Structure 1
């Protein structure tokens, strides 16, 4: 007997509907399942689109929902770091857990089945955020998988004591070592920051995920370090295990130079995660006219073969005062800001949120809509894949390890009764 059968699901735009059978947390079959097949639970998708579970490849759960405590009135990156630094001093396990849990549940309801979380690790926050994420990784694994990144937001040399905290984070079980290459005092320190991150990644045999090149342009060389990361990736033999978040200044580099950098990232096997909600909000703040909208050049990255994803990054805090942990909402924003409006572009964006994000997070071996893959699925309230962004569909069912963990049923009604005319 199957644990769950999803009947009449649309998994490809121009193919027949299929049934998806699940046993023991894995997909057992995709195709035509006999009508009399026994199942503990059956859902008739009635032609609705089914995707593998969405993946938030870059999310700061520890800093979520801080905007209610203190907003970033300047709207700049420097202002966001300053405001958040002040708030972090008062972090407690209870406060971090309450905010993170709330957003985590929003993400699950919106179809997310894996999150790569980036808690700050520094002398201001200590290991409070990291320890809470490690707790949530275990207590919420029935709802969502968490990868925990030890993230040095304040820099390493610039915040003495951070290196020891990073090591302790990895000893405690962090899955990934993070970096914030631009947040050091000078270019040489930024390069040493990269070297330190890669040395820790090699020592603890974990992937590396760095915030990098987060500026309107590359006028300051601290925001033109993507090539240095590519070089370090090759030197350490870490192709396919290194990710860069933001990389907005890449869009401001001259076309030939930009093409050269993108080619280096592709050659070295470095992935990029676009974070449009944050990047659009913080970018271009000093421009008096023709304000730059700094998002990494997604189409160029994809065309060059760079593994590229996108994510929410921050939810309602000094970096991004918006958001509901809805990855498809971020995908629609990406489509609108990166000139990606065709049906083929929608397919690309769906892949970025699913199969490509699985590769970025190193979870692709048992991911997807195929027999043997883990049964992490989301049923969308739309019948055309090309409408999966523009319809802003409900996530009718979210399945984690073969079990329905979220449902959304929404009813809208237009009251079209005509008003009687006075005689």
Structure 2
């Protein structure tokens, strides 16, 4: 959307950590140039007018820069939606899930996909992308379906949107076989063509095969494509209340297969809810294997809580991956919205702070340390999942993808659900939001 580079931008009086001095963040050339505290005393000419003569190139740049006074507001790195189905968003208005189950969601969506058009997919995806940007998201990993029902239509739309939104939000496109690979004849050829057309990531959906042998075969095929095309892999796996059905106990096999191919750090698994339903000792071994293999896990709490536990008549299970245990095992973690207002998840606004608070509530996570780690799952953790950690964060030289939040305490970011005072992509402000409240009473 933006071809010309933005002018330099300086964020004044930004809060990066509770109890620390406020800092100024200088952005230029799409990067963070510097982060520093201002000398004591009133602001000099470099902050309020043209630089003094002989001040040097850095001061000259600062003199010409735009300013945004954060006034002590919190600044965080841009939020990352590491797992989002833009092509299937907003379908609930057409046909909701009849029974609230995963099977029902797949069936309803499979029927609706037969009527997809490029315009329909594009319009719904744009609506959610716009919401995501307004809510502070600077990168989305999108999972369009690739299968004999919809072909490459949705993937082609995502590739177009990747260019359309360039400079506003980065879009990583996953070739995702929702209907399975072996079960849906012709899907493997479609996945190859998707990668040739420019898909960034190869996807998988292990549980949608007919048996354990085919599930393992799908893992092998998907990871072999990752090696062949030099792309990361992102699989939906182990999405059930427990591991009674072996199709939902694939984590150990996946860890072995990733290690065999040297793909550590380049494979993510979404959902992984059946981990929570395995015995504690068994669960510990699986988590250790995932950590050792460098396999990331992305819980999707809005979907996972909605679809799981439906057959339980007493003490319904949460059906969410055990986040605290993932942390303790050293597994790289993110979380994401997954779906927005469709048969899989009839809720949502592509707001990662809202999803993070829900994850904390459902995962027995509380207090400043836990909430800080949850927030990090949508920032630094997600950056590792999507492969941009080397150019991401709050440090000089990192991409100038930041969010100014209308709260003054880092520990309260998830609790406050603050307005996004400024969403900055590549050093350019791409969205703003405000929130005002008028109390129309006085107590004394």
Give the shorter-chain TM-score range: over 0.9
Question: Is 1:332 aligned to 2:357, yes or no?
Answer: yes
Q: Which residue does 1:219 correspond to in 2?
A: 244
Among 29, 35, 50, the residue aligned to 1:24: 29
Q: Which residue does 1:9 correspond to in 2?
A: 14
Deviation at 1:35, TM superposition (A): 2.5
Q: Is the 8 A contact 1:2 1:38 kept in 2?
A: no
Deviation at 1:40, TM superposition (A): 3.3
Q: CA RMSD in A?
A: 1.3
Among 321, 324, 337, the residue aligned to 2:346: 321
Question: Is 1:82 aligned to 2:107, yes or no?
Answer: yes
Q: Is the 8 A contact 2:241 2:319 kept in 1?
A: yes
Deviation at 1:346, TM superposition (A): 1.1
Q: How many residues align?
A: 419
Q: Which residue does 1:385 correspond to in 2?
A: 410
Which of structure 1's runs of 4+ aligned residues deviate more than 3 A? none
Q: Which residue does 2:56 correspond to in 1?
A: none
Normalised TM-score (structure 1): 0.97
Change beyond 3 A, Cα 1:274–1:39: farther
Among 258, 265, 268, the residue aligned to 1:233: 258
Q: Which residue does 2:91 correspond to in 1?
A: 66
- Quote the Cα distance in structure 1 between the aligned partners of 2:181 and 2:68: 51
Question: Is 1:415 aligned to 2:440, yes or no?
Answer: yes
- Quote the Cα distance in structure 2 between the aligned partners of 1:374 and 1:90: 40
Q: Is the 8 A contact 2:21 2:37 kept in 1?
A: no
SS in structure 1 opposite 2:398?
coil
SS in structure 1 opposite 2:414?
coil
Change beyond 3 A, Cα 1:124–1:2: closer
Among 108, 111, 126, the residue aligned to 2:151: 126
Deviations 1:178-217 (A, max 9, x none): 0000100011010100010011001001001000000000
Deviations 1:231-255 (A, max 9, x none): 0110000000000000000000000
Q: Which residue does 2:47 correspond to in 1?
A: 35
SS in structure 1 opposite 2:141?
strand
Deviations 1:378-407 (A, max 9, x none): 011110011000111111100000000000
Q: Which has the larger displacement, 25-34 or 3-12?
A: 25-34
- Quote the Cα distance in structure 2 between the aligned partners of 1:416 and 1:167: 64
Q: Which residue does 1:141 correspond to in 2?
A: 166
SS in structure 2 opposite 1:397?
strand
- Quote the Cα distance in structure 2 between the aligned partners of 1:111 and 1:2: 20
Question: Is 1:358 aligned to 2:370, yes or no?
Answer: no
SS in structure 2 opposite 1:129?
helix
Deviation at 1:2, TM superposition (A): 6.4
Deviation at 1:73, TM superposition (A): 2.0
Deviations 1:56-101 (A, max 9, x none): 0000000000000000020000000000000000111100000000
Change beyond 3 A, Cα 1:384–1:365: same
Deviations 1:271-298 (A, max 9, x none): 0001000000000111112111100001
Q: Which residue does 2:327 correspond to in 1?
A: 302
Q: Which residue does 2:41 correspond to in 1?
A: none
Q: Is the 8 A contact 1:5 1:39 kept in 2?
A: no
Among 277, 281, 287, the residue aligned to 2:312: 287
- Quote the Cα distance in structure 2 between the aligned partners of 1:354 and 1:81: 30
- Quote the Cα distance in structure 2 between the aligned partners of 1:306 and 1:92: 39
Q: Which has the larger displacement, 56-65 or 281-290?
A: 281-290
- Quote the Cα distance in structure 1 between the aligned partners of 2:12 and 2:308: 45
SS in structure 1 opposite 2:375?
helix
Question: Is 1:260 aligned to 2:272, yes or no?
Answer: no
Q: Is the 8 A contact 1:309 1:357 kept in 2?
A: yes
Deviation at 1:417, TM superposition (A): 5.6
- Quote the Cα distance in structure 1 between the aligned partners of 2:258 and 2:64: 47
- Quote the Cα distance in structure 2 between the aligned partners of 1:85 and 1:13: 48
Q: Is the 8 A contact 1:2 1:21 kept in 2?
A: no
- Quote the Cα distance in structure 1 between the aligned partners of 2:320 and 2:84: 17
SS in structure 2 opposite 1:300?
helix
